[in-house]
Each structure stands twice: as structure tokens, then as C-alpha cells.
Amino acid sequence: MADKRMKNIIYQNSILLLWVSLMASSFVISKGLLPYANPITSTGLRFILASIFMLPFIWPKYRKILKVEFIIKYAFISLFLVLFFIGLFEALKTTSPMRTSVIYTLVPLLSVILTYIGLKFITPIRQLVGFFLGTAGAVWVLLAFNQGENLSLNWNSGDSIFLLACASLSLHVVLIKKWTSNIPPAQGAFYIMVLGGLILLPFLFLLGDLTQVAWQETEFWQILLYLTLFTTMATFFLQQYLVQQVGPNRLLAFTYLIPGLVVIPQGLAAVTQLYYGLPGILLTLLALYLISKKQIQRV
């Protein structure tokens, strides 16, 4: 029995690491699209292409159980995800990527609040300590690897916008757990991509600067294809599966690893930064241990 439980824990953590690694890769590789298309266009195209690629696998199996109730629920789930992306793009007009990275570390803590409000789950004190340590560790890593950037304490409108965007992302994950626990992950991921693409379509035409997209560039399509297959289709499927298996709080806790996964490869060429970032990395690992130790208890 103990061996089976241990194997299950290893399996879950392996899938969580795969999911968060793909998420981290999107932060790095998405930058490659900036010379070819604006962020709204690239995001909209990812949703639309992913929906088209998944259609042959989803439609034959799930077309007979396409219910209006599912569509309405997933429309709201997709809306909050789209609002996160739009909020990010809007926030970057008046704040820096570094500041948004720091604010993003609050997403798991926001999830703790929303899971209590929406799911009536109480997070044990041990896990709460883990969430605070995880936030501190992630911020530490970001600061260690961005020492040259001035991180002002002045709060501006872009910071407020992105904080709301992060709350929207947390709500997106919590609603998946609340409304879709019995829906197969592949079907749920498909609904999110289709409905998200439809919601983004007006923004694509109004703000996407489609005439400025470098459609003829091979590198544009190579990057877009990677983002579509691995950081959209794969991550959405894994997110649906993991929310059902481990819950939203433990899922989002693994996002504390994203700063390290993004910046550590850079730090291999800068030993000093890696040295300064090591305490933050250790804090993050301790946080994951504390958060994963116990399951969240229902009131």
C-alpha cells in the first residue's frame, strides 16, 4: 500500500514538473514571436490553431455529449484565461516585465483565497507557510537574476491591472476544479481553446495588426507551432488533468519553480547570480515540500 502511494506521488510530481517546465518554456520562447506578430495576435493564433489540431481527435468521441451547460461553464472559464492575457498585455504598457514577474508569484496565494471562497477548502497552516515561503523564494530568485533592474516600490496602474489579471488566472483554475471535475481532460482543454479563440477573435481583428504579421517568415511558423503544440495543447490538457488529480492550490504552487526554470540556464554562465539566487531556490523547494505534505481539508 505504501509503495503504491509513493509511486502515485512520484507520478503526480513528475507530471507537475512536466507541466511547469512547458509553462516556463513559453515565457522564453514567446519572446521570439515579438518581431513577427504582436502578443494578442500570437495568443489568438495559438488558441485557434490548437483547436483545429485537436478537432479530429475530440469531435468523433465527444460530439454526442456536447451540452449547453458545459459550454456556458467553459465560456466563463475561458473568459477568465483570456482576461489574464489581455490584462498582461495592457499592464506592460505602464509597468515592466520584471514587476509583472514579481506580481505573478502571488497567483498561488490568490488561489488559496479563492479555493476557500469557491470550494470551501481550508488550507492547513503548514501549507500556508509553504505558500508564503514559495512567494518569497520565487521573488528572491527573480531579484538575484535581475540585479541590474531598478524595482521601484511605487505602485502604478499597470501593476494594479496585472494584479487583477493574476486574480483572473487563479479564478480560471479554481473554476476548472469547481465545475469540471467529471469532464475528461482532453474534452475540457478543447472547450477552453475553442471558446478562448472565439473570445479573442474580435481583439485579433481590432488590435492584432494582422497586416503587420510576418506570415512569410519560416521562423514565425516554427515558433508558433511549438507554442501551439506544447505550451497550449499540452499544457491545457495537463492542467485539466492535474487540477482534477491534485487540486488547484498544489498545481499553482509548482509555478513557484518557473522563475528558477527560466533564469537558472542563464545563471550557468553567471556563477555569481546563481550563488545569490541559491537561497531563493532552496526556499522554493522547501515550500513545495510543505504544500505537498498534506491534502487540503474540506470545511
* DSSP secondary structure of 51-65: HHHHHHHHHHHHGGG
Q: What is the pTM of this model?
A: 0.86
pLDDT of residue 224: 94
Question: What b/e sequence results for 93-131 when a residue is b if at least 16 CB atoms lie within 10 Å of its CB, and e otherwise?
Answer: eebbeebbbbbbbbbbbbbbebbbeebebebeeebeebb
Alpha-carbon distance of 48 to 197, in angstroms, equals 5
What are the φ and ψ backbone dihedral angles of 297, each rounded to 5 degrees? Answer: -100, 140
pLDDT of residue 69: 79
Nearest CA among 103, 80, 81 for reference residue 91: 103
Q: Which tens digit of pLDDT belongs to each residue from 50-78?
A: 999 998 888 777 665 567 778 889 999 99
Alpha-carbon distance of 247 to 177, in angstroms, equals 7
All residue ranges of the chain with pLDDT < 70 are: 1-2, 62-66, 146-153, 264-273, 293-299
Q: What is the DSSP letter of 95?
A: S
DSSP secondary structure letters along 109-148: HHHHHHHHHHH-EEPPHHHHHHHHHHHHHHHHHHHHT-TT
| Residue 121: strand pairing partners | 298
Alpha-carbon distance of 134 to 253, in angstroms, equals 8
Number of Cβ within a 10 Å radius of residue 155: 11
